[in-house]
Amino acid sequence: MKKSALLAAVCVPAFLAAAPLAAKTLVYCSEGSPENFYPGVNTTGTSFDASTQIYSRVVEFERGGTQVQPGLAEKWDISEDGKVYTFHLRKGVKWHSNKNFKPTRDMNADDIVFMFERQWKQDNPYFKVTSPNHSYFDDMGMPKLLKSVEKVDPYTVKVTLNQPEAPFLADLAMEFAAVQSKEYADAMLKAGTPEKIDQEPIGTGPFYLVQYQKDATIRYKAFPEYYGGKAKIDDLVFAITPDASVRWAKLQKGECHVMPYPNPADLEAMKKDPNVTVLEQAGLNVGYLAYNTQKKPFDDVRVRKALNMAMNKKAIVDAVYLSSGVPAKNPIPPSMWSYNDAVKDDPFDPEAAKKLLAEAGYPNGFETDLWAMPVQRPYNPNGKRVAELMQADLAKIGVKAEIKTYEWGEYRKRLQAGESQMGQMGWTGDNGDPDNFLHTLLGCDSAKGVSGSNIAKFCYKPFDDLVTKAKVTSDQKQRTELYKQAQVIFKEQAPWFTVAHAVQLKPVRKEVVDFKLSPFGRHTFYGVDIKGK
Amino acid sequence: MLRFILTRLSLIIPTFIGITLVAFFLIRLVPGDPIETMAGERGIDAARHEQLKKDFGLDRPLIVQYGYYIERVLHGDLGKSIVTRETVLNEFQSLFPATVELALCAIIFALLVGIPAGIIAAVRRNSIFDHGVMGISLTGYSMPIFWWGLILILLFSVQLGWTPVSGRIDVLYYIEPVTGFLLIDSWFSEDEGAFLSAVGHLILPTIVLGTQPLATIARMTRSAMLEVLGEDYIRTAKAKGLSRFRVIFLHALRNALIPVVTVIGLQIGVLFTGAILTETIFSWPGIGKWLIEAIFRRDYPVLQGGLLLVGAIVMSVNLLVDLTYGFINPRIRHNR
């Protein structure tokens, strides 16, 4: 029998291509292997996508949006002063199990406390397991923000903050706050293999991990006891396919149903394919050119304004981003709440720019550097090309810009240290809160020192007052007003030339039902169905 | 023969030290470090950076780090990946069978097609067949792997629908790795279709990876055969009235094979290099892709360990080739 099979394989390869699809299996052609299955120490979307199917969080982002909704916590109370959060946990939430471990209890307050302490307390036995670098926990300011995390009873957790922080709830919906089983952690610690909890994970999420083969596949099955009800699909497979053209070939052939990060060059064909829909959404990101506001001549707002008017944004976006970007006028993307659409962008007007430059004392222009991003990002697909276009525009008003670049790690470090005069950078939002852009990238706090993410070193009191006030106000309406004003000041002060927001494009096969684009760029498959199977 | 083997073996030690030196220092010459790379856009503050460097032992002087590294290697410990925290050896073991499976298929394909093509081209010198083989092999030799792979996918997978696009097996077959060689594992699995699927998935990557060695082997066989066919003893054999078959296959081929075997040995290195690209196009979970990623992420332990292991394999294969010479041509083993 098998001999004949071999013969058939050699003679009739056509026969091989069509393997039957099992009932309700969704195949996602992912772009790479995850680092591990513990999002607390990860920073890449690839790793987050792999683990987000497995875990639940205290609160969750709504599917396809940035609003926060109940997760493992059914409800919560916030104290008057905005400093004490009391979470009331859902009862009867089941853990997955695997060959190493069978849970004996449901999820409870111990697990939530463990989630915090693993990333927060250096003496926690798990603090250094897998990696001691809890990037997001640290970046969201948790170590300074948290005063105490207490278990009140098995289903109530009280978190006390040092100061009020409006984005705190949104932070807890982020990937780093995935809740792991304390019982599993204790068991693995006892067995001397603590890192197992991050390699063979157990969660309370809609899918459990069946098998992970590095660089090949990640297999999940729907968890029948998921607290939100079983997923509509039965099996979820990540077919790891690093090359974008190959992902597209697989999608065309029906070897996968959803693919991320298409080649811009393939988009035309994708849109024409009758079996494929290309979903589109402006992502939570921004690409920009930061002027170092503490260095001459960019300490003069007139110079910054002049340069903003000298560069042809539309031409840059058309030439470099093709259909994968839209011109940006504000530092936050249009899909984010509090986006101020009334703000007018600086017009492209080289004559006016020249005049303004002369007013500022540079009638003949000046010489400057212009740092080009060495890596490709959705918000900046080709840093060098963007820099060249900028350079050409600036030359027309007499500004001689010398393009510089470094290896990525070095590049970022030097920018943060304030070495550049003009530098390209970008940002992808973490928690859907405007604070994450306006305060993180433009507040005085992050302009200090040599490693803050405010690379324009922009510290302007009227602006900073607004974003700091918004940070401690819990009323969303008030916060919206404050952020809108902040965007007006941003435009007047022009610490950046805002370039573009990348548009998320996701080719999906027609048989996939109800796949929603995540503004965070995540790929989640709970709630997704497959037609006709 | 023993002395021959010992001489060859003694050359291994300096080569090995050379590899550790190159693997260790070369990656450290590249700017950036694993901690910076891990931090991505977000960056990392200086104090934490220092702390992590200390945790990974990267704060010590290079020469000290190298010393520790060699000590660990001598104890058989290649360290853990900085990114995944898996041991390098475990990762290597899980990925290596995929590379070997592909490389073996590619070299078998190259030999099965290359040697006969070379022989026929030599025997029918200046015929249309000869010019055809030489022309095609020159094209094959200069074909960029990436382009060649994509063309084959577009033609055979997307247009004609004969072969699957990429991967090692259809994702719907769930094969628990036992040997890691999917052809073997799927053969013994319950699922009849699994083996077929594994074979189907091998076809295109085998052709892509095998093309360059095939071209080299065909050209080498042709020129070696031509040289041997002009020798006196062949003329004598022919004059004695031996059949054309005996002359070509028994008398000429054996001597012509010596340079061909050398080339085959050298192709192992080519296969590993080619595997990097082939594995990326065909989403083949092998060590080529693993090493490339380690370079991007500055995952020092993976890169050092991986290069060392690959180096050891290439050296072993070459040693084997050296020994094969001795077998094919006794003059070599007696040459002191």
A447 in Cβ contact with A454 (< 8 Å)? yes
pLDDT at A45: 85
Reduced to 3 states (helix: H, G, I; strand: E, B; else coil), residue A326 is: strand
Q: Is the pLDDT of residue A381 over 80?
A: yes
Query: Are B37 and A21 an interchain contact pair (Cβ–Cβ within 8 Å)?
Result: no
Dist. CA B279–CA A518, nearest whole Å: 30
Partner B contacted by A80 (CB < 8 A): no
Mean pLDDT of A374-380: 85
Q: Is the pLDDT of residue A20 over 60?
A: no
Q: Where are the domains of chain B?
A: 2-74, 91-335
The predicted pLDDT at position B333 comes to 59
Say what percent of chain B tops pLDDT 90: 20
- On average, the pLDDT of chain A sits at 90
**Residue B21 structure tokens:** 């030196």
User: Residue A153 is encoded by which pair of tokens?
Assistant: 């009873």
The rounded distance, in Å, linking the Cα atoms of A281 and A324 is: 10
- Enumerate helices (H) and strands (E) in chain B, giving the number of each: 16, 0
Nearest neighbour of A239 by CB, restricted to B43, B84, B171: B171
Region A26-34: mean pLDDT is: 92
Q: Of B63, B67, B58, whose CA–CA distance to B33 is shortest?
A: B58
Calculate mean pLDDT across residues A419-443: 91
A117 touches chain B (CB under 8 A): no
Nearest CB neighbour to A255, from listed B164, B282, B286 = B164
pLDDT for B121: 92
Residue B311: pLDDT band (50, 70, 90) is confident
Q: Could you tell me if B36 lies within 8 Å of chain A, comparing CB atoms?
A: yes
Measured CA to CA, the distance from residue A509 to residue A336 in angstroms comes to 28
For chain A, positions 167-196, list CB contacts with chain B under 8 A: 195
* Mean pLDDT, range A48-61, rounded to an integer: 96
pLDDT of residue B79: 87
Distances from the Cα of B65 to the Cα of B15, B62, B85, angstroms? 20, 5, 19
- Confidence band, pLDDT 50/70/90 cuts, at residue B332: low
In the DSSP assignment, the letter for residue A98 is B
Contact call for residues A491 and A328 (beta carbons, < 8 A):
no
CB contact under 8 A, B168 and A216: yes
Confidence of residue B312 (pLDDT cuts 50, 70, 90): confident
How many angstroms away from the CA of B189 is the closest CA of chain A? 11
Question: Hey, what amino acid is at B7?
Answer: T
For the segment A154-158, the average pLDDT, to the nearest whole number, is: 96
Q: Is the pLDDT of residue A8 over 80?
A: no
Query: Which of chain B's residues have a Cβ under 8 Å away from the Cβ of A375?
Result: none
B286 contacts on A by Cβ (under 8 Å): 215
CB contact under 8 A, A17 and B157: yes
Per-residue confidence band for B334, with pLDDT thresholds at 50, 70 and 90: low
Which of the pair, B2 or B28, is modelled with greater confidence? Answer: B28
Predicted confidence band of residue A273 (pLDDT cuts 50, 70, 90): very high
Residue A22, helix vs strand vs coil: coil
Share above pLDDT 70 across residues of chain A, in percent, rounded to a whole number: 95
Could you give the C-alpha distances from A47 to A40, A174, A212, B205, B285, in angstroms and in order?
Answer: 10, 13, 13, 27, 17
Residue A3 in this model has a pLDDT that exceeds 60: no
Q: Into which CATH architecture does domain B91-335 fall?
A: Orthogonal Bundle (1.10)
DSSP helix/strand/coil, A303: helix
Whether residue B32 and residue A35 make contact (CB cut-off 8 A), yes or no, is: no
Give whichever of A16-25, A212-221, B275-284 has the largest mean pLDDT. A212-221
Answer yes or no: is pLDDT of A317 > 90.
yes
In what helix (H) or strand (E) does residue A369 lie, and over which residues does it extend? strand A367-371
**The pLDDT of residue A498 is above 70:** yes
Nearest CA in chain B to A134: B39
Q: Does B203 touch chain A (CB under 8 A)?
A: yes
Structure tokens at A155: 């289903």
Contact B166 A249 (CB under 8 A): yes
| Closest CA of chain B from A40, distance in Å | 13
**pLDDT band of B74, cuts 50, 70, 90:** confident
Q: Tell me: the pLDDT tens digits for B293-307?
A: 888 888 888 988 998
B204 and B153 Cβ atoms separated by less than 8 Å:
yes
Residue A533 has pLDDT above 90, yes or no: no
**Confidence band (pLDDT; 50, 70, 90) for B42?**
low
A465 touches chain B (CB under 8 A): no
Q: State the DSSP string of B126-145.
A: TSHHHHHHHHHHHHHHT--H
Give the number of C-alpha atoms closer than 13 A to the C-alpha of residue B65, restricted to the C-beta side: 20
Structure tokens at A145: 């923000």
A408: confidence class by pLDDT, cuts 50, 70, 90: confident
Q: How far is A237 from chain B (nearest CA, A)?
A: 7
Query: In the beta sheet, which residues pair with residue A220?
Result: A209, A236
The pLDDT, as a whole number, for residue A451 is: 67
CB nearest B46 (choices: A43, A239, A450): A450
Query: Between B32, B162, B280, which is nearest A407 by CB?
Result: B32
pLDDT(A14) > 70: no
Q: Judged by CB atoms within 8 Å, which residues 172-201 of B form the interface with A?
A: 172-174, 176-177, 187, 192-193, 195-197, 199-200
Cβ partners under 8 Å of residue B37, min gap 6:
A408, A409, B296, B297, B298
Band (A348; pLDDT cuts 50, 70, 90): very high
Report whether B326 contacts B4 (CB < 8 A). Answer: yes
Nearest CB partner across the interface for A215, out of B176, B193, B290: B290
- Interface contact B43-A412, CB threshold 8 A: yes
What φ, ψ does residue A192 adopt, rounded to 5°? 80, 15
pTM of the model: 0.82
The C-alpha atoms of residue A98 and residue A502 are separated, in whole angstroms, by 40
pLDDT higher than threshold 50 for residue B43: yes
Average pLDDT of chain B is 85
Question: How far does A367 lie from chain B, in Å, by closest CA?
Answer: 28
Most confident of A149-158, A212-221, B277-286: A149-158
Q: Tell me: pLDDT of A17 over 50.
A: no
Q: What is the pLDDT of residue A6?
A: 43
CB contacts, 8 Å: A426 with chain B: 41
Closest CA to A279 of A30, A523, A516: A516
User: How much is the average pLDDT of B259-269?
Assistant: 81
Check pLDDT > 90 for residue A441. yes
| Residue A529: pLDDT over 80 | yes
pLDDT of residue A429: 84
Confidence label for A491 from pLDDT (cuts 50, 70 and 90): very high
Q: When comparing pLDDT for B189 and A185, which is higher? A: A185
pLDDT (tens digit per residue) in A218-249: 999 999 999 999 999 999 999 999 888 999 99
Q: Is the pLDDT of residue B39 over 70?
A: no
**Higher local confidence (pLDDT), B255 or B164:** B164
> Is B147 at the interface with chain A, CB within 8 A?
no
> Between chains, do B283 and A246 touch, taking CB under 8 Å as contact?
yes
